[in-house]
Structure 1
Amino acid sequence: MAIGVKLVSNEEASPEVKQLFEQIEKQMGFIPPTMRAMANKPEYLKLFLEKSRVVMGSGKIDGKTKLFVALTVSILNNCEMCITTYTNKLKEAGVTDEEIVELLSIIDLVGGLNHFNNGLMIKPSEK
């Protein structure tokens, strides 16, 4: 569900969007509502998919770490859709409940420390 923006259905999709939807469904097993909303501007959906492929694809940082970072950012931004997506992807990658709780404990520790330092306006000291 999206507020104020139609989610493009398979039936309403242009040929270009249908091709993108097929690519998404092949990769993810379904078409997320976010991408159905993006389909209102096919050029943006195409750009997003390419950016995702480049950023989340092979690189110096392994895929599991990238998913942990993505989940962390999603938690900090309170994005329910992304939290669900990245948690599921991590589970598919073999991550345990214990590892996810460990990640959340790190977010709790560092986030709390950040709030403490920001609240007191503590600046880094030079050595």
Structure 2
Amino acid sequence: MATVKLLTDADAEAIPAVKAVFDDIRATRKNDFINNFWRALANDPANLKRVWESLKSVMTVEGTLDPLTREMIYIAVSTANSCQYCIQSHTAAARSRGMTDAQHGELLAVIGLAAQTNHLAIAMQVPSDPEFDVK
């Protein structure tokens, strides 16, 4: 259960700053769906705007990483941070951007391997190799 109210569209209509962000989310994503993360953040309109602008500046701009790769990285980081909500929402986004079952399987294998080797390196307190330093 959420720890904050999830603002409805009617609630958002009554708060111009929230309505503006919700309208931008809809326009950017080219659909009418506002997911619960944004509805929860809407309790603080300034934070809602800040986080949405930040997300847009990373996830929706042209760059050297394609949109699917960005979503897959988001899934990996969300897994590392144990964020079920983000894992589900970004897996759905990745699938909508063309992620196949085979790609998802490989992603999960990489996530699992990285988690295992990260924990082993931490447990053994292995020092970094000087060859890995930026020169």
State if a TM-score over 0.5 links the two structures.
yes
**Contact 2:8/2:39, CA 8 A, preserved across alignment:** yes
CA offset at residue 55 of structure 1? 0.8
Aligned to 2:6: 7
Aligned to 2:72: 68
Aligned to 1:45: 48
1:75-119, CA deviations, whole angstroms, 9 ceiling, x for partnerless residues? 111111111111111111111111111011011112111111111
The alignment's TM-score, normalised by the length of structure 1, stands at 0.88
Unaligned runs of 5+ in 2: none
* Counterpart amino acid of residue 2 in structure 1: A
1:5-27, CA deviations, whole angstroms, 9 ceiling, x for partnerless residues? 22211112212312322322342
Aligned to 1:89: 93
Alignment CA distance shift 1:64-1:47 (3 Å): same
Where in structure 1 do 4 or more consecutive aligned residues deviate above 4 Å? none
CA offset at residue 58 of structure 1? 1.4
The CA RMSD measured in Å over matched residues stands at 1.6
* Counterpart amino acid of residue 12 in structure 1: D
The CA distance in 2 between the partners of 1:126 and 1:6, in whole Å, is: 50
* Counterpart amino acid of residue 75 in structure 1: T
**Contact 2:7/2:43, CA 8 A, preserved across alignment:** yes
The count of aligned residue pairs is 126
**Contact 2:42/2:48, CA 8 A, preserved across alignment:** yes
Unaligned runs of 5+ in 1: none
The CA distance in 2 between the partners of 1:110 and 1:8, in whole Å, is: 37
CA offset at residue 124 of structure 1? 2.1
